[in-house]
Structure 1
Amino acid sequence: MKKSAVLYFFYVLGIFSKGLTLFIQTQHTVVGKMGDEVILNCQIIESKDVQQVTWQKNLPEGETNVGSNHKHFGQRVNSPFRGKVEFEDVGLLNTSIVIRNVTELDEGCYRCLFNIYPDPAVIGTTCLQLYELHEPVLHVRESNSSEELVVSCSATGRPACTVTLNVSPQDLHLSPNNTVSVSNTNGTVTVTTTAVLSGVHKHGAQVGCAVRVLSAPQRNVFVTIPDVKPEKFTPAHHESSWIIGLVVGMVIVCCLVPVFIFVLMKQITPNSRLSLRNKTPQKPAQVIHENKTPLMIKVNELRQRSSVKKPPNSTTKKPTSGKRLF
């Protein structure tokens, strides 16, 4: 009985660390978005004479002082946290620090130490956890069946996010989701969820994608499905296919006709040339004297003409003198 009374006495005085933490109100885990600023807060729920508040960060090698706020000397941020961390509240019973442009290096647990006179220090702990989430992408495409659509939603974040597909109105049917996760080199994870939607011919139907990561606000994207009825969609599809087939056929015919004509002409040309050659009269071949130039041939012809013999009765008259004979 006496031992229980002693333990209760020490508990009320706050000597045990478990009892000391009851004086501090803080959030155990603070979730922040990568690149934003976060606020860490500690508050004593009882009025105490606090002389100084010290913020520390837990590291693998031990605690390091981030900054302090003294009752008489004011606030001070230690290096290398200057420009990164600032005190938000000037009070000592309710203290907050702001961490700007948070990165992976800022993740971890932080301690707030309240130095109370004449009591021992009171310690509280709050942990910072960061997330990264990019805008989700929702796709709706046709399937092999005219009455079904394939719906897929992808989201990239850190840590891996949860991707959920939904449809409105509720009487439309979504097949069981197929989810695939891919780890990226920068530490993020891309999650893709795919499902098949049946009964898409209803007017005004919507497909939605909800993405969550940690305790961060949920992100939603929606796509409205157009009013597509299978009975009206099929004839139009066949008509367009018929027109496309006709155009393709005309193009093929226009390409093949010149080729056919060219091949046909190739087959007819040799015979026609032969027949024309037989019908055309050939010119007599001229006798070509080998090794004789045209000038030599001309000289020979002149010699032949001059060497023609005179008739035997012909006499050569001598020119007479200028005297006349009687």
Structure 2
Amino acid sequence: MSFFGVLYYFLAVFIFGAFDKALTAVIQTQQTVLAAVGEDAEFSCQLLETKDVLQVTWQKISHDGEKNVATYNKQFGQRVNDGFTDKFKFKHTELQNCSIVIRNVMEQDEGCYHCLFNTYPEGSFTGKPCLQVYELHEPVVDVRESNSTEEWVVSCSATGRPAPTVTLSVSQQDLSFSQYNTVSVSNTNATFTVTTTAVLSGSRKHSTQVGCAARVLSAPHREVTVMTPVVQQKPDATEDGSYEKITSQSSESNFTWIIVLAVVSVVAVLLVILLVVFRYFFADFVAHFKQHNKTGDLEKIKTPLKSKQDIHENKTPLMNHENEQLRQRTSTKKTPKNINRKASPSTAKRLFEEH
């Protein structure tokens, strides 16, 4: 290539580059738009200079080039091209100011887009906003006891994409973290799990608030706070073992009281059961006795007393027969066998004369 050819090439690059910068300088747009997975992302472009705009065109930049996503003009209005109707929608439409929304952003939506203001006779003025998709889950905090009575071990894990930054905090100013340790693990779904562990110095007899914040890029952070549990420390044993003796005596005393209370409770329950059973059967017996007395009195009232004549008349024939035999025997003893009870007149006269 000749000297003039090289000079012409650099001159063309400089002129067209300057012209391209001039065209993009009048577009106001957000260079980087952050959106979490599942959220909506909004692109907005505004033409700062007054131009005769015929149409606004939105394009998605990919490895294969630019693809028209949607267009707006006064003659046909809003239009989203086929294949993008479920993903894109217009939010604000003007020829000088236009915005579009990407619904439910996913990892494949990440990249840069073009907003073109097609003017006459200058041509197109282009803006280039870019979408960056991130993922951030709520952090998980774990507080556990340390070997020392004056320390806690605090651990916080957060998962996101790209790798999140995990920060620990404590509410009390006189407490502080030390011995930081951070581990990052890459997951199969292109996310990262970052775990930060530190030692919190301070008395474990008092509860304090511990916080953990996770952040990805410049997106809003996620924070979780927990309260450390209070641990009651046992007193140290003396040299002669008095603490163990006191503890043993206290345990025996408590065990004795438990047995006494159990026995008293059982006796009380048995007494209550016996009382209930006695009252039930006693009430039944009294009711039966009263009913029996009432029945007997009524029978006496209903049955009149019998007279002696009725009793005599009501004797059975067997009794009458026995009485008759008894009278006959008595008469036989008083009267001799050779004397008839009825004497003839001649015999009676003779006996009378003899006497």
Please state which band the TM-score falls in when normalised by the shorter chain. 0.5 to 0.7
- Identify if the C-alpha distance between structure 1 residues 236 and 210 changes in structure 2 by more than 3 Å, giving closer, same or farther: farther
Contact 1:52/1:68 (8 A) holds in 2: yes
What's the counterpart of residue 235 of structure 2? 235
Secondary structure of the corresponding residue to residue 118 of structure 1: coil
TM-score, length-normalised on structure 2? 0.60
Contact 1:200/1:225 (8 A) holds in 2: no
- Per-residue CA distance 1:207-247 (angstroms, 9 max, x = gap): 1111100111111111122444xxx51239998xx88xx9x
What's the counterpart of residue 166 of structure 1? 169
Distance of 1:27 and 1:88 partners within structure 2: 16
Contact 2:152/2:204 (8 A) holds in 1: no
What's the counterpart of residue 112 of structure 2? 109
1:55 to 29, 48, 58: 58
Secondary structure of the corresponding residue to residue 19 of structure 1: helix
What's the counterpart of residue 67 of structure 1? 70
Distance of 1:183 and 1:175 partners within structure 2: 26
Structure 2: gaps (5+ residues):
1-14, 238-242, 252-355
Distance of 2:158 and 2:185 partners within structure 1: 11
Letter in structure 2 aligned against 1:163: V
What's the counterpart of residue 217 of structure 1? 220
Range 153-162 or range 199-208, more displaced: 199-208
Distance of 1:225 and 1:218 partners within structure 2: 22
- Identify if the C-alpha distance between structure 1 residues 140 and 236 changes in structure 2 by more than 3 Å, giving closer, same or farther: farther
2:179 to 176, 180, 184: 176
What's the counterpart of residue 79 of structure 1? 82
Letter in structure 2 aligned against 1:235: P
* Matched residue count: 230
Secondary structure of the corresponding residue to residue 233 of structure 2: helix
Letter in structure 2 aligned against 1:191: V
Considering fraction of residues, name the structure with more helix: 2
Distance of 1:15 and 1:205 partners within structure 2: 61
Distance of 2:45 and 2:205 partners within structure 1: 54
TM-score, length-normalised on structure 1? 0.66
Distance of 2:177 and 2:205 partners within structure 1: 14
2:28 to 25, 39, 64: 25
Distance of 1:92 and 1:86 partners within structure 2: 16
Residue 17 of structure 1: how far off its partner (Å): 1.0
Distance of 1:198 and 1:19 partners within structure 2: 59
Residue 202 of structure 1: how far off its partner (Å): 6.6
Contact 2:159/2:194 (8 A) holds in 1: yes
Residue 15 of structure 1: how far off its partner (Å): 7.8
Q: CA RMSD in A?
A: 2.6
- Per-residue CA distance 1:138-191 (angstroms, 9 max, x = gap): 111001111111000000011110001111212212113200001111111000
- Identify if the C-alpha distance between structure 1 residues 15 and 209 changes in structure 2 by more than 3 Å, giving closer, same or farther: closer
What's the counterpart of residue 97 of structure 1? 100
What's the counterpart of residue 188 of structure 1? 191
Letter in structure 1 aligned against 2:211: G
Secondary structure of the corresponding residue to residue 24 of structure 2: helix
Structure 1: gaps (5+ residues):
1-10, 247-326
What's the counterpart of residue 284 of structure 1? none
2:208 to 205, 210, 216: 205
Letter in structure 2 aligned against 1:233: Q
- Per-residue CA distance 1:106-152 (angstroms, 9 max, x = gap): 11000000001121110000000011111100111001111111000
Contact 1:175/1:197 (8 A) holds in 2: yes
Distance of 2:114 and 2:180 partners within structure 1: 43
Contact 1:50/1:71 (8 A) holds in 2: no
Letter in structure 2 aligned against 1:25: Q
Letter in structure 2 aligned against 1:185: T
Secondary structure of the corresponding residue to residue 108 of structure 2: helix
Secondary structure of the corresponding residue to residue 35 of structure 1: coil
Secondary structure of the corresponding residue to residue 177 of structure 1: strand
Distance of 1:164 and 1:111 partners within structure 2: 37
Distance of 2:61 and 2:179 partners within structure 1: 44
Contact 1:136/1:221 (8 A) holds in 2: yes
User: Which structure: larger Rg?
Assistant: 2
Secondary structure of the corresponding residue to residue 185 of structure 1: coil
Letter in structure 2 aligned against 1:29: T
Distance of 1:88 and 1:49 partners within structure 2: 22
